[in-house]
Amino acid sequence: MAKPTFSLCVYCGSKPGDDSSFAESAVQVGQWIAQHGGQLVYGGGRNGLMGVVADATLAAGGQVVGIIPQALVEKEWAHQGCTELHVVENMHDRKRMMAERADAFIALPGGIGTFEEFYEVWTWRQLGYHNKPIGLLNLNGYYDPMLLFLNNVVKHRFMDTWQMDLIQSDTDANRLLPGLIQAAGLPTPFLSQSI
């Protein structure tokens, strides 16, 4: 199997949300990863947007690494079609392995599990535990209220602007994805290929 050009960790909802355009964008993200020779790293489930992004990556010929805690194998309906499916002991092992396997992270719309994972890699980055790019795909303004609140955190000086600047937020996956891969410092000749 060819070595992937990059590994992108995607955090997103284990539910599909109320708007079919979320799933359409999740498909685009999966296709983009596959078409650029990349590898998806994600939570290993079939439910919601998580399943959609994995299916889209696989259908477009890409590689998928799923990492799921034993206790969630049935609840999140572990994706047996993954190129690699790792069943780990607990959530901490899952999140550590996802972070280790990724060159960059991106959060799509999701719920508290998605937020928790996104905030964890962000806090790890501000502490210097890693130096990997972190993106927020703000589809249809889904994350507008969160970004508003985060700017309020800066205004009240519980966070500095440099901390905000550690995340890249964009409404357009076609801008955000190459930006993240470039920021990861990988060789990127594959980015100039038209898809």
Q: Interface with ligand AMP by CB under 6 A: which residues?
A: 13-15, 43, 45, 72, 76, 91, 95, 110-114, 116-117
Q: Which is nearer to ligand AMP, 87 or 154 (CB)?
A: 87
Q: Looking at beta carbons only, is 76 or 103 nearer to ligand AMP?
A: 76
194: its two tokens: 């038209």
> How far apart are the C-alpha atoms of 63 and 130, rounded to whole Å?
24
Q: How far is the CB of 115 from ligand AMP (least distance, A)?
A: 7
CB of 13 to ligand AMP, least distance (A): 4
Residue closer to ligand AMP, measured from CB, 38 or 43: 43
Distance CA 126, CA 124 (A): 6
Nearest residue to 107 via CA among 94, 120, 96, 97 = 120
Give the nearer residue to ligand AMP in terms of CB position, either 96 or 159.
Answer: 96
**Residue 91 CB, nearest approach to ligand AMP (Å):** 5
Which CB, 15 or 130, lies closer to ligand AMP?
15
The rounded distance, in Å, linking the Cα atoms of 54 and 63 is 9
Structure token digits, residue 177? 């994805």
Please list, in sequence order, all residues whose beta carbon lies within 8 angstroms of the beta carbon of residue 84, skipping any fewer than 6 positions away. 63, 64, 65, 66
Strand-pairing partners, residue 170, are: 137
Give the H or E element holding residue 34.
helix 20-35
Least CB distance to ligand AMP at residue 74 (A): 12
Taking the complex as a whole, the smallest distance from the CB of residue 94 to ligand AMP amounts, in Å, to 7
Residues 6+ apart with CB under 8 A from 83: 1, 39, 58, 63, 64, 65
